Amino acid sequence: MQIHQQMRQVMDAITKQQSAMIHETLKKRYPQTSADKIEQADRLIADTMKDMPMDAMLDAMIPIYQRHFSKTDIDAMATFYDSPTGQKMLHEMPALASESMQASYALMQKQMDAISQRAEQIVKEDQQKKNAPATPPSQQKN
């Protein structure tokens, strides 16, 4: 099933997506960020992804697949992936994953922005409460 190649292609697609998200975040939060710093962030992402322990990740997936699929299921999947349609699926899967991530990126980014804004609002409100002068009991309304 060319699982190592598939995993690498999916990781490459994830890397591209993360890079795009980080670019946008940096530009929004730190508009003065230089192109050099963005390139530095790209190198950090690439280095981090390059060092991902692929074999260990695949080994960690084995018990998960064993919990969800029987040997008969796995044999049937292997038969499918050996077929022309299965081979096409394997070939197209990285592009499907990448395009799906791109299509959902705007929706995810909008949601993440809303969450970030709400979290910042909560922190500001908490800070305001902590910094507000205490009202003496004689001045409190009943």
Dihedral (Cα; 91, 92, 98, 102), 10-degree rounding: 170
Q: Report pLDDT for 138.
A: 60
pLDDT of residue 1: 60
Token pair in block for residue 124? 């500001």
DSSP string, 62-89: HHHHHHH--HHHHHHHHHHHHSHHHHHH
The 10 Å Cβ neighbour count of residue 113 is 13
Q: Is 57:80 a contact under the CB 8 Å cutoff?
A: no
Closest C-alpha to 65, from 54, 55, 56, 73: 73
pLDDT score, position 67: 95
Cβ contact 90:6 at 8 Å: yes
Dist. CA 135–CA 1, nearest whole Å: 70
| Per-position pLDDT tens, the chain of length 142 | 667 777 777 777 777 777 888 888 888 888 888 888 888 888 888 888 777 888 888 889 889 999 999 999 999 999 999 999 999 998 888 788 778 877 887 788 778 888 888 888 888 888 888 887 766 556 655 5
DSSP 137: G
Q: Structure tokens of 19?
A: 């890079």
